[in-house]
Every structure is written in structure tokens, then in C-alpha cells.
């Protein structure tokens, strides 16, 4: 088993805008695909150009897509019986997806006895 280090960028947004306004502005800048459909489409591609088309379709307008959303505030609200705090964790990614997939393909062992990773 090998361990691969992955570098991520974390962004915290602090604003005086209303919470829902700030979340709506973020939502407008990232793709929100149906992950199961995205995975199925990605599995069906036959070449790199098709892969780019699938990825580009779901990562507009900024090469980002939301993978998951956790409303930590909702958990805390239930615990304390109030409407506060409002706290949201959104997991986005994909920028540089094509190069990341190529690197992953190069760095992972293949089950092909010939070693072909094409």
C-alpha cells in the first residue's frame, strides 16, 4: 500500500452580506452536477477529448464543482434550539482535473501484466 500526499486549498469567507446571499453567490460560481450521473458519464468516455467535454460541462463557470455540502450550523442549531449559528462546509474541487487524472494514472499500479497504462 502506498500513501499519496494531496495538497488542497482551504478558503474561509467572512462577509457582512446576509448568509443566504453569500451562499447564493458562491453557488452561482460552481457546478452542481448529479454525482452519480457524472461518474457514469465519466466511465463511458472513450478518449481524453470526451473526458474533457464531460468535465467541462459540470465545472462551469470556474472549473469548480461541488462534491459535498455539510451544514454544520444545522447540527448546532438542533443542539442549542436556536436559529444560529449558520455555518456551511462545501467540498469543491476539479480545477486541474485532467492533469490530476493523468498523474494518478501514471502513479498507480496497473492490473495489465504488460504494464500498459494507456
**What would the pLDDT profile of 34-86 be if each residue is shown by its tens digit?**
989 999 998 999 988 898 889 888 888 888 888 888 888 888 888 889 888 88
Q: Is residue 3 part of a domain?
A: no
**Domain of residue 55, residue span:** 19-107
Q: Is residue 39 part of a domain?
A: yes
pLDDT higher than threshold 90 for residue 21:
yes
All three cell numbers of 68, joined, read: 459535498
Higher pLDDT, residue 116 or 46: 46
Q: Is residue 91 part of a domain?
A: yes
- As for how many domains the chain has, the answer is 1
Q: Quote the CA–CA distance of 99 and 19 in Å, as a whole number.
A: 35
Q: Is residue 5 part of a domain?
A: no
Categorize the per-residue pLDDT at 117 as very low, low, confident or very high, splitting at 50, 70 and 90. Answer: very low
How far apart, in Å, are the Cα atoms of 45 and each of 40, 57, 85? 9, 13, 43
Amino acid at each position: 500500500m502506498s500513501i499519496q500526499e494531496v495538497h488542497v486549498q482551504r478558503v474561509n469567507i467572512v462577509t457582512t452580506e446576509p448568509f443566504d446571499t453569500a451562499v447564493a453567490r458562491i453557488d452561482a460560481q460552481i457546478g452542481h452536477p448529479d454525482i452519480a450521473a457524472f461518474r457514469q458519464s465519466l466511465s463511458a468516455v472513450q478518449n481524453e477529448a470526451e473526458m474533457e467535454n464531460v468535465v467541462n460541462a459540470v465545472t462551469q463557470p470556474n472549473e469548480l464543482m461541488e462534491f459535498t455540502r455539510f451544514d454544520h450550523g444545522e447540527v448546532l442549531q438542533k443542539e442549542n434550539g436556536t436559529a444560529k449559528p449558520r455555518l456551511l462546509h462545501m467540498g469543491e474541487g476539479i480545477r486541474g482535473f485532467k492533469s490530476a487524472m493523468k498523474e494518478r494514472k501514471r502513479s498507480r499500479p496497473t492490473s495489465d501484466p504488460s504494464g500498459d497504462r494507456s
